[in-house]
């Protein structure tokens, strides 16, 4: 068995766009275009990137909510890339997901009890009484009163609803939880509560997180390692402790420069990226970032940069032809 | 039955719509009355007391000989001879309307169709049959036909819409094209052709109309499933390992039910109209069946006897109006924009 709980090798997810009278494939969205990384037991890996860079797709593909186009996903040494949904059933207990919008991720027609009972029913766990106890326990763990059981999701605030979503995700004692922007739909005051709950649960249950967010400061706070994505590719993989001091990819540098500093006297030069993210239907040739990179050279336009390790002491991979040579901000 | 809070609220809103609420009760009582048609309009007595014994002619066949008559066949209680035999040694309790839908009144004061009188409250049709009796039985068969057609067409329509919307892609495209072609068929002509090939009875007719009538709900249900299959809570259920069928039933179908339930009273009205128009054209229920459409056709053929057309029209119009009123109330009760 490898050292990783979850290992992804050259994962690709392309969405076909059909059109015309005969519904032929007229285009392809290259949502994920060759993603490789590993997640160790107990660590938190942050995934950051702009909207549309494929981070949500990656999260969903990892859980086989989408079927990958190519590549491999290994979970606890087992290849789950293309096994059938029924043989996936046991793996489903061990990898779960927390969704972005707590208003959408709970079925508004079900009571909290029904929502939390479903995982146990599906996996035929426990008797009615045992399930009841476990639901009470779950509610306690996520900090909701037991009286919440018979209420409907719309009777709760956003933060409370997210707690219900977290309770559902940890109901089956998973090892890996993919958190898909779990706090970005919440008020800032609630965000820290939910983040602390997630950290507390990680300690208590030994969870491994893949934490997806577009807010680098949140990811930096919660993660051990950070993966920066751009247009379906990983551009940099770095320890969260060194992301502020030592970002090597120009895109990461731009993201880091956008983190607000809580000190009005500090003047910081921000890198403002020009233009929009190119369409993933027609990704640029060469380095995907070259259309917006301030250091762009000829080689960037033609040759795709491989993800290479740039540190002797730790894992710090960067996909840039000029990594380490570029100016810092 | 215990309603959840949402449904309680809907029921309150439905009740608040007085017109729809009373229409529902009126329609239900008319329907229940018509279900008891055999007790209300029957040419056989409800109860006969003969030689200190009780007989129930409307339920059981008694031979004439049982009452001291001559023939071994079923007693004809409208025959003066039989009546005298019985009343000599007992009594007869008649149904309020002493005619069934097939009973021919042979003692008409004027040639059939004869006008309303004490005996035939709304007159008789052109074969001497009582109009009231035929209306009661006709109402029952229309509503039953409508209910069956609505029930089966909803099940098929919801299933087809659910499968298309949930799986999407090729299944959806093929299904949609098929429905477009299928709904483009000249339904009435096909019904006429089919019903001239087979001798249609109630169930045949139901099957034939179902063949072309199941598409009403496909559109809304499909749309709801297309929308619903990408909801985060559906993805969450998938991540938990909930199977396709359960996701469809537990998580998406309840959303589609609102749209479907809103449609039901209107589908019911439409089904009744379909049966009536087929009957009117003479391609519906077998000859002799009580049917509103046939009565309308008689009214058209006998303009000198307005009680035929007017009675049939009145019953049909009130039935359809009641259904529309109920439908409007249901629609308003289920309207989510009015609930918060």
pLDDT digit string (tens) for A44-90? Answer: 999 998 888 888 999 999 999 999 999 999 999 889 988 888 888 88
Instruction: Please state the φ and ψ torsions of residue A34, each to the nearest 5 degrees.
Output: 95, 75
CA nearest to A306, candidates A229, A235, A250: A235
Which helix or strand (DSSP H or E) is residue B314 part of?
Answer: helix B306-334
Give me the residue from A92, A109, A122 closest to B254, CB to CB: A109
A97/B239 CB distance under 8 A = yes
**In contact, B232 and A101? CB cutoff 8 Å:** yes
Give strand pairing partners of A11: A35
pLDDT over threshold 80, residue A266: no
Q: In whole numbers, what is the pLDDT of chain B averaged over residues? A: 88
Contact list in A for residue B173 (CB cut-off 8 A) is 23
CA pair distance A213, A44, nearest whole angstrom: 13
Q: Which of A100, A109, A118 is facing B240, going by the closest CB pair?
A: A118
On whether any CB of chain B is under 8 Å from the CB of A116, the answer is no
Please indicate if any CB of chain A lies within 8 Å of the CB of B173: yes
The pLDDT assigned to B340 comes to: 44
Q: What is the pLDDT of residue B123?
A: 85
Q: Which residue has the higher pLDDT, B5 or A41?
A: A41
Average pLDDT on B76-93 reads 84
Q: How much is the average pLDDT of B129-148?
A: 93
The residues in A 22-41 lying below 8 A from B, measured between CB atoms, are: 23
Chosen for mutation from A62, A65, A118, A155 (greatest number of chain B CBs closer than 10 Å) is A118
Quote the tokens at residue A70. Answer: 């190519």
Q: In this complex, how many residue pairs, one in chain A and one in chain B, have their CB atoms less than 8 Å apart?
A: 55
Three-class SS string for A110-127? Answer: CCHHHHHHHHHHHCCCCC
pLDDT in tens, A154-175: 889 989 999 999 999 999 999 9
Residue A321 contacts residue A305 (beta carbons within 8 Å): yes
Task: List all residues 6 or more positions away from A121 whose beta carbon is below 8 Å from its beta carbon.
Answer: A131
Is residue B82 helix, strand or coil? Answer: helix
> How sure is the predictor about A329, in pLDDT bands with cuts at 50, 70 and 90?
very low
**Per-residue model confidence (pLDDT) at position A2:** 65
Question: What is the crossing angle of helices B202-213 and B187-197, to 10°?
Answer: 150
In the structure, what pLDDT confidence band is assigned to residue A226 with cuts at 50, 70 and 90? very high
| B190: pLDDT strictly greater than 60 | yes
The helix/strand/coil state of A16 is: strand
Cβ–Cβ gap B233/A97 under 8 Å: no
CA separation for the pair A10, A20 (Å, rounded) = 32
Q: What phi-psi label fits residue A295: left (phi over 0), alpha (psi between -120 and 50 degrees) or beta?
A: alpha
A225: left (phi over 0), alpha (psi -120 to 50) or beta: beta
Q: What is the pTM of this model?
A: 0.81
Residues paired with A29 in a beta bridge: A15
Q: Name the token pair of A239.
A: 């320890």
Instruction: State whether residue A89 sits within 8 Å of chain B by CB.
Output: yes
Answer whether A29's CB lies under 8 Å from A280's CB. Answer: yes
pLDDT, average across residues B102-130: 85
DSSP conformational letter for A147: G
User: Do residue B236 and residue A23 have CB atoms under 8 angstroms apart?
Assistant: no
The DSSP string of B57-79 is: TTTS--BGGGGT-S-SSB--TTS
Instruction: Give pLDDT, residue A327.
Output: 56
Q: Is A141 on the interface with B (CB under 8 A)?
A: no
Task: Give the rounded percent of residues in chain A with a pLDDT score beyond 70.
Answer: 98
Check pLDDT > 60 for residue B1: no
Of A60, A92, A152, Cβ closest to residue B241: A92
Say if residue B114's pLDDT is above 80: yes
Q: Residue A109 and residue B5: Cβ atoms within 8 Å?
A: no
Quick check: B3 contacting A, CB < 8 Å?
no
Backbone angles phi, psi at A42, to 5 degrees: 85, -5
Q: Does B2 or A192 have the greater pLDDT score?
A: A192
Instruction: Give me the pLDDT at residue A11, please.
Output: 93
- SS3 (DSSP) at B97: strand
Q: Is residue B31 very low, low, confident or very high in pLDDT (cuts 50, 70, 90)?
A: very high
The residue-averaged pLDDT of A291-297 equals 87
Q: Where are the alpha helices (DSSP H) in chain A?
A: 55-62, 89-94, 112-122, 128-141, 158-170, 188-205, 216-222, 250-257, 298-302
Q: What is the mean pLDDT of residues B205-234?
A: 90
For A64, residues 6+ apart whose C-beta sits below 8 A from its C-beta are A73, A80, A85, A88
pLDDT of residue B338: 63
Long-range contacts of A273-279 (CB under 8 A, 24+ apart): A277/A50, A277/A51, A277/A52, A277/A53, A277/A230, A277/A231, A278/A231
- Give ipTM to 2 decimals: 0.85
Residue linked to tokens 């751009």: A230
pLDDT confidence bin for B267, thresholds 50/70/90: very high
């Amino acid at each position: 068995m490898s050292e990783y709980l979850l290992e992804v090798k050259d994962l690709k997810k392309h969405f076909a766009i059909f059109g015309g009278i005969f519904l032929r494939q007229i285009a392809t969205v290259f949502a994920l275009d060759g993603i490789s990384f590993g997640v160790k037991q107990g660590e938190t890996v942050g995934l950051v990137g702009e909207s549309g860079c494929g981070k949500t797709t990656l999260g969903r593909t990892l859980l086989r909510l989408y079927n990958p186009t190519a590549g491999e996903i290994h979970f606890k040494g087992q290849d789950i890339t293309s096994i059938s949904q029924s043989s996936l059933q046991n793996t489903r207990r061990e990898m779960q997901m927390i969704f972005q919008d707590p208003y959408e991720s709970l079925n508004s027609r079900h009571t909290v009890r029904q929502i939390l009972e479903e995982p146990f029913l599906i996996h035929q766990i426990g008797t009615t009484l045992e399930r009841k106890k476990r639901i009470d326990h779950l509610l306690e763990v996520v900090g909701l009163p037991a009286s919440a059981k018979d209420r409907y999701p719309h009777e709760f605030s956003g933060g409370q609803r997210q707690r219900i979503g977290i309770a559902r995700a940890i109901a089956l004692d998973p090892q890996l939880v993919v958190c898909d922007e779990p706090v970005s739909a919440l008020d800032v005051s609630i965000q820290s509560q939910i983040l602390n709950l997630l950290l507390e649960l990680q300690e208590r249950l030994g969870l491994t997180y893949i934490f997806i967010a577009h807010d680098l400061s949140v990811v930096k706070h919660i993660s051990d390692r950070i993966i920066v994505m751009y247009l379906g590719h990983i551009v940099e993989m770095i320890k969260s402790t060194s992301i502020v001091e030592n970002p090597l990819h120009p895109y990461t540098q731009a993201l880091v420069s956008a983190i607000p500093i809580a000190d009005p006297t500090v003047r910081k030069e921000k890198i403002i990226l020009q233009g929009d993210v190119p369409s993933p239907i027609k990704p640029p040739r060469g380095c995907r970032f070259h259309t917006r990179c301030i250091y762009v050279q000829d080689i960037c336009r033609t040759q795709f940069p491989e993800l290479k390790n740039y540190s002797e002491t730790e894992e710090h991979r960067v996909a840039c032809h000029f990594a380490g040579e570029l100016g810092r901000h | 039955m215990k309603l959840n809070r949402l449904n309680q609220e809907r029921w309150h809103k439905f009740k608040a719509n007085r017109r729809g609420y009373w229409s529902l009760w009126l329609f239900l009582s008319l329907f229940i009355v018509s279900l008891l048609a055999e007790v209300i309009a029957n040419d056989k007595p409800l109860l006969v007391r003969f030689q200190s014994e009780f007989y129930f002619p409307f339920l059981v066949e008694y031979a004439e000989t049982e009452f001291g008559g001559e023939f071994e066949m079923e007693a004809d209680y409208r025959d003066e001879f039989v009546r005298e035999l019985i009343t000599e040694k007992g009594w007869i309790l008649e149904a309020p309307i002493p005619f069934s839908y097939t009973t021919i009144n042979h003692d008409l004061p004027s040639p059939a169709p004869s006008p309303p009188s004490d005996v035939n409250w709304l007159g008789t049709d052109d074969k001497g049959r009582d109009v009231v009796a035929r209306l009661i039985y006709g109402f029952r068969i229309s509503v039953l036909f409508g209910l069956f057609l609505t029930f089966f067409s909803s099940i098929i329509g919801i299933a087809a819409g659910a499968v298309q919307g949930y799986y999407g892609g090729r299944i959806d495209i093929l299904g949609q094209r098929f429905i477009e072609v299928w709904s483009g068929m000249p339904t009435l002509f096909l019904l006429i052709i089919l019903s001239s090939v087979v001798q249609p009875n109630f169930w045949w007719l139901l099957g034939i109309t179902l063949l072309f009538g199941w598409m009403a709900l496909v559109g809304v249900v499909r749309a709801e499933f297309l929308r619903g299959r990408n909801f985060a809570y559906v993805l969450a259920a998938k991540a938990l390992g909930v199977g396709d069928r359960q996701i469809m039933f537990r998580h998406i179908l309840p959303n589609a039910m609102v749209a479907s339930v809103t449609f039901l009273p209107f589908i019911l009205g439409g089904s009744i109209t379909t049966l009536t128009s087929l009957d009117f054209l003479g391609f519906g229920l077998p000859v002799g069946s009580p049917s509103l459409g046939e009565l309308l056709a008689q009214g058209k053929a006998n303009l000198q006897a307005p009680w035929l057309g007017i009675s049939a029209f009145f019953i049909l119009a009130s039935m359809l109006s009641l259904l529309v009123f109920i439908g409007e109330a249901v629609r308003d009760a289920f309207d989510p924009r009015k609930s918060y």
